[in-house]
Amino acid sequence: MTIRTAIVGYGNLGRSVEENIRNQPDMELVGIFSRRAELDTDTPVYPVADIDSYRDSVDVLFLCLGSATDIPEQATAFAASFSTVDTYDNHKKIPAHYEAMDEAAADNGNVAIVSTGWDPGLFSLNRTIASSIFPTSQQNTFWGKGVSQGHSDALRRIDGVKKAVQYTIPREDAIEAARGGHGADVTGHGAHLRQCWVVADESEHDRIREEIVTMPDYFVGYEVEVHFISQEDFARDHQGLPHGGHVITSGTLGGTTNAVEFSLALESNPDFTAAVQVAYGRAAYRLKDAGLTGAFSVLEVPPYLLAPESLEELLTRDV
């Protein structure tokens, strides 16, 4: 059995999904659907406007579109024609997205697995599992070390900044406090360091540093480090998209303090997000094959459906 997959949207995530599918024993990639006519890939590329004519040749469609506007505007139309897996990450709007995808998928006999990836995704699963274990719990999520696109954009908007990237780094003392059951004292501002790497002319450094540390919302209230570096060092050391973090949950049980921690250290955010999305693609296929339809969050998908191995093999290997 080979699962016939396709990708819609070819940015960082789309490229990583394409690469990931090449390594799957039970999947093939039928093509990539894009709004652009030409993409730099060997995979067949089709106009997204024609996607409905591929309904019968694709089992699972990976939605690799932006969360800001693409997914809210387009995802339900894809779910009406295909079983889909997305990584929609606007946390506050996930319940509404789930509801809209549920209706579109169920009405057409499809499955839509929503908001996979790592946060939302694997972090969400861990938040639910860990907090279910304790009668009362304290839960903290720390992000990083990772590139914050929003903060990097804010740096690049400052006059005189030629190149810039901002890493969000969780503070070790805050992580230790959460591990020790004192996470309630950890605040968002105190929990993360904002580290900026900037390319600019030397005569501008003092002014730019001042503009960064006094920028409201983005940097005021945080511990901020500003490092000025050369174009060459920037090109060598700051091209990647690392990310990751920790979900730490602690609780008291019969007078003892116990903690559960789930951590990720990702050298490439899109490569890892894609890997999770593709594993959920296998689950989408199997759920539909079992006669189920509608939307599923990561909380509702049994973990064995993600694995290429059989349940029997997993019972021996992992349980």
Contact between 11 and ligand NDP by CB under 6 A: the answer reads yes
Quote the CA–CA distance of 95 and 103 in Å, as a whole number.
13
Q: Which residue has the tokens 């909380």?
A: 299
| Site for ligand NDP contains 65 (CB under 6 A) | yes
CA 191 to chain CA centroid, nearest Å:
21
Q: Is 35 among the residues that bind ligand NDP (CB under 6 A)?
A: yes
CB neighbours of residue 301 within 10 Å: 20
The C-alpha atoms of residue 152 and residue 155 are separated, in whole angstroms, by: 5
Strands (E), 65-216: 83-85, 111-113, 137-143, 146-147, 163-170, 192-199
Q: Which position among 20, 110, 148, 269 is part of the footprint of ligand NDP (CB under 6 A)?
A: 269
Is 74 near ligand NDP (CB under 6 A)? Answer: no
DSSP state for residue 98 in the 8-state scheme: H
Residues 13-32 that bind ligand NDP (CB under 6 A): 13-14
In the complex, what is the shortest distance from the CB of residue 19 to ligand NDP, in angstroms, rounded to a whole number? 13
Contact between 296 and ligand NDP per CB under 6 A = no
Residue 9 binding ligand NDP, by CB under 6 A: yes
- Binding of residue 268 to ligand NDP (CB under 6 A): no
- C-beta separation of 242 from 146 below 8 A: yes
Interface residue with ligand NDP among 5, 10, 151, 278 (CB under 6 A) is 10
Per-position x/- string for 121-160, each x denoting binding to ligand NDP as judged by CB under 6 A, each - no binding: x---------------------------------------
In SS3 terms, 241-300 reads as CCEEEEEEEEEEECCEEEEEEEEEEECCHHHHHHHHHHHHHHHHHHHHHCCCCEEECHHH
DSSP code at position 220: T
Residues 179-208 that bind ligand NDP (CB under 6 A): none
* Rounded least distance, CB 117 to ligand NDP, Å: 2
Q: x/- site string to ligand NDP, residues 87 to 126, per CB under 6 A? A: x-x---------------------------xxxxx-----
Residue (82 or 228) nearer to ligand NDP, CB: 82
The count of residues interacting with ligand NDP (CB under 6 A) is 24
Q: Would you mind telling me the total number of residues written for the chain in this entry?
A: 319
Smallest distance, Å, CB 59 to ligand NDP?
20
Stretch of 8-16, 102-110, 172-180, 257-265 lying at the interface with ligand NDP (CB under 6 A): 8-16
Of the candidates 293, 272, 282, 264, which has an alpha carbon nearest to the alpha carbon of residue 87? Answer: 272
CB of 121 to ligand NDP, least distance (A): 5
Residue 27, strand partner residues: 3
Phi, psi of 43 (to 5 degrees): -70, 145
What is the contact surface with ligand NDP in residues (CB under 6 A)?
Answer: 9-14, 34-36, 48, 64-67, 87, 89, 117-121, 269-270, 273
